[in-house]
Amino acid sequence: DWTPDSFVEETVEAIQEKVGNDKVVLGLSGGVDSTVAAVLLNKAIGKNLYCIFVNNGLLRKNEFQSVLDQYEGMGLNVKGVDASQRFLDALAGIEDPEKKRKAIGNAFIEVFDDEAHKLEDVKWLAQGTIYPDVIESVSATGGPSATIKSHHNVGGLPDFMKLNIVEPLRAIFKDEVRRVGATLGIDPELLGRHPFPGPGLGIRILGDITAEKVRILQEVDAIFINGLKEWNLYDNVWQAGAMLLPVNSVGVMGDERTYEKCVALRAVESTDGMTADWVNLPYEFLQKTSNDIINKVKGVNRVVYDISSKPPATIEWE
């Protein structure tokens, strides 16, 4: 029978056997999967694990610093690299969703590679790949994401890195990853975090990406997500986020006519992200959230709620 304890015991041994005294590098994302992978590896090989946490400038509000502090508090050997400007530069003027993903993926590989080269004698690259990532990436028919969106979690490794791969979570599902994380003593709040895509807010800003749009969306997202937590709705939702639309609409503010941005809120129920239903959030919550966003976030005068299921609508809008 599968239990998180036996999984941890067997996986720690398997990692030790596989990598021996070699150094391993791992990219932390702030998400559940890479965090659990890091803590498992840390348990197996301690200081031979070198974690890199890149700020791509497309994370949630304050997330880079707070997550970095949390990683340090967990005793991980982690280096935070703020590469926000590099990503913004790489994205300048790009509107096409897949081109954005490629630009973000390539910038990540460059930054990560620069950092990995600063470490000497690293032989392994560890990744928090989980079973659904494996299926979505290799299956020919796959889920819609496999063919429609280029997830860059699997593969895409430049040859020149020449590292061997270690993926301790490759055979398990998200709920099992969370149970393993709990057994390892990881903060339940971190383990309960909603999934967040690697390209981050970059695929939630429709159209081209600018620092100002990122700032607006970070504010909107923080109001929405903090509201879900305050109303005890967060844990009933599988994933939630806001999209900044490339649309201006007319509004009135006092005596003034406004012509400002519109945001869409999305909250879904799902088990693995392959299919999803929109969540029937209480109207009172939606009303309060909409008022807060419009009153507090300069540049936004309209909020809509996405009531589309997947399929056919994907969870992300890009």
Residues at the site binding ligand XMP, with contacts judged by CB under 6 A? 101, 145, 149, 151, 153, 195, 197-199, 239, 273, 310, 314-316
Return the number of the residue (7 or 60) whose C-beta is nearest ligand XMP.
Answer: 60
Q: How far is the CB of 70 from ligand XMP (least distance, A)?
A: 20
Task: For residues 221 and 289, give the distance between their C-alpha atoms in angstroms, rounded to a whole number.
Answer: 10
Q: Is 11 annotated as a binding residue?
A: no
Q: Which of 245, 213, 246, 237 is CA-nearest to residue 286?
A: 237
Classified as helix, coil or strand, 296 is helix
30 in a labelled binding site: yes
**Nearer Cβ to ligand XMP, position 241 or 294?**
241
**At closest approach, how far in Å is the CB of 10 from ligand XMP?**
27
Closest to ligand XMP by CB, 101 or 213: 101
Shortest approach of ligand XMP to residue 287 CB, angstroms? Answer: 26
Whose Cβ is closer to ligand XMP: residue 57's or residue 197's? Answer: 197
Report the alpha-carbon distance of residue 201 to residue 241 in Å, rounded: 9
The dihedral through the CA atoms of 68, 121, 154, 273 has a sign that is: negative
| Cβ proximity to ligand XMP, 20 vs 311, nearer residue | 311
In whole angstroms, the minimum distance from the beta carbon of 21 to ligand XMP comes to 32
31 is in an annotated binding site: yes
Nearest by Cα to 194 from 63, 92, 88: 63
What's the distance, Cα to Cα, between the start and end of the chain in Å? Answer: 40
Helices and strands: H and E segment counts in the chain: 11, 9
Chain centroid to Cα 277, Å, comes to 20
Binding residue per annotation — 35? yes
Total residue length of the chain: 318
d(CA 318, CA 15): 36
Q: Is 29 annotated as a binding residue?
A: yes
- Cβ pair 289, 224 in contact under 8 A: yes
**Which residue numbers belong to the known binding site?**
29-35
**Which residue numbers belong to the known binding site for ATP?**
29-35
